[in-house]
Amino acid sequence: MQTNSTFSLIIFTRKSRGTTSQLSIYVRITVNGQRSEISLKRTILFKEWDSSKNRGRGTTNKIRLLNTYLDQVYSQLLDCHKQLLEEDKIVSANAIKARYLGEDDTHKTLKELIAYHNSTMITVLKFGTMKNYYTTEKYLHKFLDQKLTESDIYLKQLNYRFICDFEQYLRKCKNSKKQYVLANNGVMKHLERFKKMINLAVKLEWIAKNPFNQVQLKFDKYDRHYLSERELQLIENTYFNQERLEKIKDCFLFSCYTGLSYIDLKELTVNQISKGIDNNHWIFTKREKTNETVKVPILPKAQQIIDKYTANTETISSKRLLPICSNQKTNSYLKEIVEACGIHKHITFHVARHTFATTVMLSNGVPIETVSKLLGHTKLSTTQIFARVVESKISEDIGNLLMRFKEKEA
């Protein structure tokens, strides 16, 4: 704590530029000889100012109110000086002025935090992730405007009540058709992103207490969709006369046998196919989402799809391995494909990764550690959620266990 610095406050006046008979009132902060001044936005007649006391002269109601205000300013500036000392921060005239005017870090607002977070994270997070943060920002702005009728609030005003009210606002959001926009997990994802912003504010010391300390985010657990072996074969054995459907079918099947996500498959080039340690063809790439290196051996059915399209000189010249279109169109075409195959499941392109993990890998005895590596996960726990062990595999494992018991008894 600083104790050897000099500090003084003085309230003084200057002649008003507009009227010579009036004085404008200021306060001057001096620390170690360095000065900073604040205009108090008050004026007084020359004859009503007592320069010896630096206060208004007289007993009128107007003068009493002015003097009370000046005493409050003086007291608040003293308190700002005390706060900076207690917080072991540098005490300067400008620091005291900033604390008094609400311009230092203790007076940061929610919108300032959001803007700072998004401007710094834009170079760290992927575009798709940033889009989600922008959506959370939109909901926070609407909540402030529609429910709190405020343009902004200070971070120190955030509390458990604010988070609960924001959660309820998200749950009740409706679109133009009067339908609820967000399910439980959608609400939880927005709160999760908001929590990350608040964590950043705590690390920056913009807020003393984290209002999320008492909040538990509860996600609903759902079984992830994947194709069974029979359903996978149905798609494989169906030929489509429409070229657009045939191409998307091949891209989807390729992902089912490699585990690549949509964006990783879209960016996949001929140059990323090389001979591996077993002298067979492997895919060497990096996950767009996590930047994790992924090395995937190419299974025979995936190789057949590569051979089908690398024979096309146009594909080779463009360096793109497979002819996939936009994500939106891809999922739209997939809907047509599964309906034509008589599969009654909601299928998106990402289901291919689930199918790779379960039907292609885990169901055929590949250890989950190997599956995790092939999927490019940084943690095994992610794979345990992402890739479920199907009932047929459990049945097979228990059958093997019973066989061992019988062998021991014999």
Q: Which of 95, 65, 63 is nearest to 82 (CA)?
A: 95
Residue 190's alpha-carbon distances to 133, 187, 289, in angstroms, are 8, 5, 19
Query: How buried is residue 308: exposed, middle or buried, by Cβ count under 10 Å (0-12/13-18/19+)?
Result: middle
Residue carrying the six token digits 């309230």:
11
Strands lying side by side in the sheet with 281-286: 273-275, 281-286, 293-297
Check: CATH 1.10.101.10 for 229-397? no
The residues that bridge with 24 in the sheet, in sequence order, are 14, 43
pLDDT at position 1: 45
Q: Which of 213, 223, 201, 18 is nearest to 113 (CA)?
A: 201
Token output for 161: 């009540």
From-to residues of CATH 1.10.443.10 in the chain: 229-397
Whether the model pTM is above 0.75: no
From-to residues of CATH 1.10.150 in the chain: 108-214
Residue carrying the six token digits 């909901």:
139
Q: Residue 109 in contact with residue 41, Cβ under 8 Å?
A: no
d(C-alpha 346, C-alpha 366), whole Å:
26
Q: In the Cβ-directed half-sphere of 24, how many Cα atoms lie within 13 Å?
A: 13
The residues that bridge with 296 in the sheet, in sequence order, are 283
Architecture of domain 108-214: Orthogonal Bundle (1.10)
pLDDT at position 317: 45
Find the radius of gyration of the CA atoms of the chain: 33
d(C-alpha 169, C-alpha 164), whole Å:
9
pLDDT at position 100: 85
**Helix, strand, coil % over all residues of the chain, rounded to 5:** 55, 15, 35
d(C-alpha 142, C-alpha 407), whole Å:
68
Q: Which residues of the chain have pLDDT under 50?
A: 1-2, 313-317
pLDDT at position 260: 93
pLDDT at position 138: 96
Long-range contacts of 100-106, Cβ-Cβ distance < 8 Å, separation of 24 or more: 100/38, 100/76, 101/38, 102/154, 105/204, 105/205, 105/206, 106/156, 106/206
